[in-house]
Structure 1
């Protein structure tokens, strides 16, 4: 495969030397970059193709796709809408705009695009797949599952369709259906790495000779040592070994998966830590004095490190009849960016915002929050990246509540290291040293927010306390949110809410304590982290 891409790359260079500025060559090179897991490089080539031939529909579609995949939903939306102007009602453009709007938290507008697509006859498998995924991402899970079934009837053996159907079944808690879908997929493609990884979440291996473990080993034999395709397989094998209590071998495979990802990562630890430090320097108590006057008190922001118990906390609150959960979204970040859509905002600029500017941001956020789902007395937003924005959140929404969920540092870090979290924003967790440094900086930032945010707006919850004293801690949590008692909050696992995070299996069960002190099983392997963070876990008092 790599030899074929090399030959194609050389051919493109030859054509470029004869015809400089050929947009088709730029587009082709962008596609090769995507095929070899280099989306940032691909984006540069697709931008070049669009610049050279701005009225080529397919170039706009390709650029929109890579922008969306790299987290630039606002730019992707522009490209998809421009593509739709070039070819009105084309399905790819409509679906792309729908996905971009959903990523921006503009669900009502996304739904309008979705309905336009649903009125059309989809003629190819990829558009049908994107339609089903769009339905799921907008929360229409019943429609999504019907669309996946229709796709697989029309295009039997469509592997990604089968995989996404299984993922959707997991999200709604139908684990037996998900397992059946995955096993059907693996009967068609036994070495399908993502399917094996997902099945390892559901199915308990009986022994080291379990057929699933054998299938993972066989799949690994046919993939190059540093290929990103190995990551899911190493993670799947690690989870199987973990369930068989072979913790040394499990950790080895978690480490191997992370080492492969780290080789393909551009993570800059020094820049990341400097940015976190700069947030605390720029957002002082004096900045908070210039907050806006938005009086909405529905938003409840749940923050913390990944794998800290934030999903559990949101599921408990969302089980309350007067609360609705929005999960992880980038709505606040996008509302903030909308103030200067043509250029990125600096921390220094935000620190100088007037009350009027903060009010505009808060008003826009609330409008999008209400448009993105059911409107209740309280609406949760558990975007963990909001730990960076708590000062801005308070300035824009002074009546919003903030819940900081904490978990033992070593349990938190171990869970990050072993969860294969998707997205480059979590690449600090690929190595124990960068993970430890990031965690220490996170503690420093949260201490800063603790000092300057009003006590009545800021609540801290320890995951271990919630597990040990579920009802008492749930009552305190509801009291902080201004909600009365509901027995449904104790049966959160039966609420039927869709869950997209890595905690999907845990929140489908009643409260349990087996994740407490999990780090002790890996104490030897975590020695570098223990040296940095210690083993103490101070109480909230």
Structure 2
């Protein structure tokens, strides 16, 4: 980001900093910023901005700090100012696109990514993110076209092919597949790209009906991923707010934390505890929470409901976790005796405000599809006694196998081993059984197999009975809804319901012994 030392007359009572002083102030501010001394950095950037309003480095770096702290609207204003005065700044255009994306303003994000691509055509990340934004908007053919252009660049070819394989395995050519296979077998290739190549090969081979070969590719990809859990599998972005930074536990540590959390929450959120605190939550019925395991059919539920004119889907949002962080009953500063009667209502108000900051508009109902919120159902009930809580359920083996077949960008450390993911599933069902015991009937269990086998009647039930919404025919045409969708199932939800994924596990049955053993009571019988 270059500095522009021209000043605007009348914009400040102080004289502009000369070039040397300006350079020194920006250098010191950047040092503070890099070291995490954000208050000192902001003070210096703001001083520069006041003295030299046309020194665009100051608002640019202030915008990045806004992103760091989730002040996306403020970041947007600053970046628009910068790009208006310096339309040739690639960094500012890319950052603007990122912020628009995070605010859910996808058409504008696509335009900004296109401008970034035009400024630096050889930067692969801009094209990858442009393709991703087009995917989110359901413009899959355009996304594949962008990726095909990128595949012509030698340094980015594999990344592009991998993304095409994720979107449309049938679009992969024999030459593409050969490149993936060579990379997967090359011990000198970066391990992240080898892992991604193996998962892509698994998808392609499965589409071709070569199930033993597909499983071998998935298994090797999972083995490498589990051994190299901290290695990035995607190129890092130009800006990286804390929420975008990837932090991995080891699979063993992740499993221990999950087991401890299930035990802690079950012991704390008991029926008497809930009874003592009921009645102090929000009267709002706006939130619709979708919880469960990854790859359980949750995106289909959100797509159906978001097709309703009164419902907005927000995808997976961290709003609830951020709202509850450090607060009773999980904080250290408050006890049951000291919390205010309106504690849970205040949490509810703060949560809704976070959703608005993330782009919830005027629709009366809003969907939060952060699946891991199944851990917080008791708190959700206390915050929103009138909210809908949907539990997406799918056949246990299909759920676990789908997770094993998916390379996640972050988290999900227990999905890279059949035994690990089976144990995770058992703990998750233990948590759900606890909620059914202490809050009987509160959670609506939605079975994926029933929904896809009888969509007409089950979709109507989902809308009218489970969510208490007035019927709208658009819910049956959910695949035509062009709302933004950020999910691993991005291609599937743009199609009518299909049943080909039911009992997918039988194609791989002879390989799944460790999963059956780990699932215990949830393993298939006979």
Report deviation, 1:377: 2.3
Work out whether residues 193 and 232 of structure 1, in 8 Å CA contact, stay in contact via their aligned partners in 2: no
Distance 1:441 1:405 in 2: 16
Report deviation, 1:100: 3.9
Distance 1:59 1:412 in 2: 47
TM-score, normalised via structure 2 length: 0.81
Instruction: Give matches, 1:45-60, under 5 Å.
Output: 56-60=28-32
Post-superposition CA distance 1:235-288 (Å, at most 9, x none): 111111111111122122222222222223332122321222221111111221
**Structure-2 residue corresponding to 1:155:** 120
Question: Which secondary structure state, in structure 1, belongs to the residue aligned with residue 366 of structure 2?
Answer: strand
Report deviation, 1:227: 1.9
**Structure-1 residue corresponding to 2:443:** 458
Post-superposition CA distance 1:158-178 (Å, at most 9, x none): 211111111111111111111
Distance 1:275 1:149 in 2: 44
**Structure-1 residue corresponding to 2:288:** 300
CA RMSD of aligned residues (A): 3.1
Instruction: Give matches, 1:152-191, under 5 Å.
Output: 152-189=117-154
Report deviation, 1:219: 3.5
Report deviation, 1:537: 7.8
**Structure-2 residue corresponding to 1:422:** 409
Report deviation, 1:293: 3.1
Work out whether residues 59 and 78 of structure 2, in 8 Å CA contact, stay in contact via their aligned partners in 1: no
Distance 2:337 2:217 in 1: 44
Distance 2:474 2:274 in 1: 37
Instruction: Give matches, 1:78-117, under 5 Å.
Output: 84-85=45-46, 88=49, 90-100=58-68, 102=70, 108=73, 111-117=76-82
**Structure-2 residue corresponding to 1:383:** 370
Work out whether residues 290 and 369 of structure 2, in 8 Å CA contact, stay in contact via their aligned partners in 1: yes
Distance 1:350 1:422 in 2: 38
Report deviation, 1:190: 6.1
**Structure-2 residue corresponding to 1:67:** none
Mean CA deviation greater in 383-392 or 344-353:
344-353
Report deviation, 1:395: 1.6
Report deviation, 1:331: 0.7
Question: Which secondary structure state, in structure 2, belongs to the residue aligned with residue 93 of structure 1?
Answer: helix
Report deviation, 1:535: 8.4
Distance 2:325 2:291 in 1: 20
Work out whether residues 191 and 216 of structure 1, in 8 Å CA contact, stay in contact via their aligned partners in 2: no
Question: Which secondary structure state, in structure 1, belongs to the residue aligned with residue 445 of structure 2?
Answer: strand
Report deviation, 1:126: 3.2
Work out whether residues 293 and 399 of structure 2, in 8 Å CA contact, stay in contact via their aligned partners in 1: yes
Report deviation, 1:491: 0.7
**Structure-2 residue corresponding to 1:533:** 519
Instruction: Give matches, 1:265-276, under 5 Å.
Output: 265=229, 266-267=249-250, 268=253, 269-276=255-262
Post-superposition CA distance 1:126-145 (Å, at most 9, x none): 33222212212212221111
Work out whether residues 165 and 171 of structure 2, in 8 Å CA contact, stay in contact via their aligned partners in 1: no
- Are residue 311 (structure 1) and residue 299 (structure 2) matched? yes
Give structure 1 regions of 4+ aligned residues with deviation exceeding 6 angstroms: 76-80
Change (3 A) 1:228 1:497: same
- Are residue 214 (structure 1) and residue 178 (structure 2) matched? yes
Mean CA deviation greater in 359-368 or 481-490:
359-368
Work out whether residues 101 and 109 of structure 1, in 8 Å CA contact, stay in contact via their aligned partners in 2: no
Distance 1:389 1:201 in 2: 32
- Are residue 520 (structure 1) and residue 511 (structure 2) matched? no
Work out whether residues 344 and 383 of structure 2, in 8 Å CA contact, stay in contact via their aligned partners in 1: yes
Distance 1:502 1:377 in 2: 27
Change (3 A) 1:430 1:112: same
- Are residue 444 (structure 1) and residue 408 (structure 2) matched? no
Question: Which secondary structure state, in structure 2, belongs to the residue aligned with residue 307 of structure 1?
Answer: coil
Unmatched 5+ stretches in structure 1: 1-52, 65-75
Instruction: Give matches, 1:268-347, under 5 Å.
Output: 268=253, 269-289=255-275, 290-291=277-278, 292-337=280-325, 339=327, 345=331
Mean CA deviation greater in 329-338 or 179-188:
329-338
Change (3 A) 1:144 1:191: closer
Work out whether residues 197 and 232 of structure 1, in 8 Å CA contact, stay in contact via their aligned partners in 2: yes
Instruction: Give matches, 1:422-501, under 5 Å.
Output: 422-424=409-411, 426-453=412-439, 455=441, 457-479=442-464, 480-501=466-487
Distance 2:440 2:475 in 1: 27
Question: Which secondary structure state, in structure 2, belongs to the residue aligned with residue 529 of structure 1?
Answer: helix
Report deviation, 1:353: 4.8
Q: Comparing both structures, which one devotes a greater share of its residues to helix? A: 1
**Structure-2 residue corresponding to 1:413:** 400
- Of 196, 200, 203, which aligns to 1:232? 196
Distance 2:39 2:284 in 1: 30
Work out whether residues 114 and 131 of structure 1, in 8 Å CA contact, stay in contact via their aligned partners in 2: yes
**Structure-1 residue corresponding to 2:236:** none
- Of 217, 221, 225, which aligns to 1:253? 217
Distance 2:352 2:381 in 1: 13
Work out whether residues 117 and 131 of structure 1, in 8 Å CA contact, stay in contact via their aligned partners in 2: no
Unmatched 5+ stretches in structure 2: 1-24, 50-55, 230-248
Mean CA deviation greater in 282-291 or 114-123:
114-123
Question: Which secondary structure state, in structure 2, belongs to the residue aligned with residue 402 of structure 1?
Answer: strand
Work out whether residues 479 and 495 of structure 2, in 8 Å CA contact, stay in contact via their aligned partners in 1: yes
Question: Which secondary structure state, in structure 1, belongs to the residue aligned with residue 288 of structure 2?
Answer: strand
Report deviation, 1:184: 0.6
Question: Which secondary structure state, in structure 1, belongs to the residue aligned with residue 476 of structure 2?
Answer: helix
TM-score, normalised via structure 1 length: 0.79
Change (3 A) 1:288 1:86: farther
Instruction: Give matches, 1:332-411, under 5 Å.
Output: 332-337=320-325, 339=327, 345=331, 353-371=339-357, 372-411=359-398
Work out whether residues 308 and 407 of structure 1, in 8 Å CA contact, stay in contact via their aligned partners in 2: yes
Change (3 A) 1:162 1:54: closer
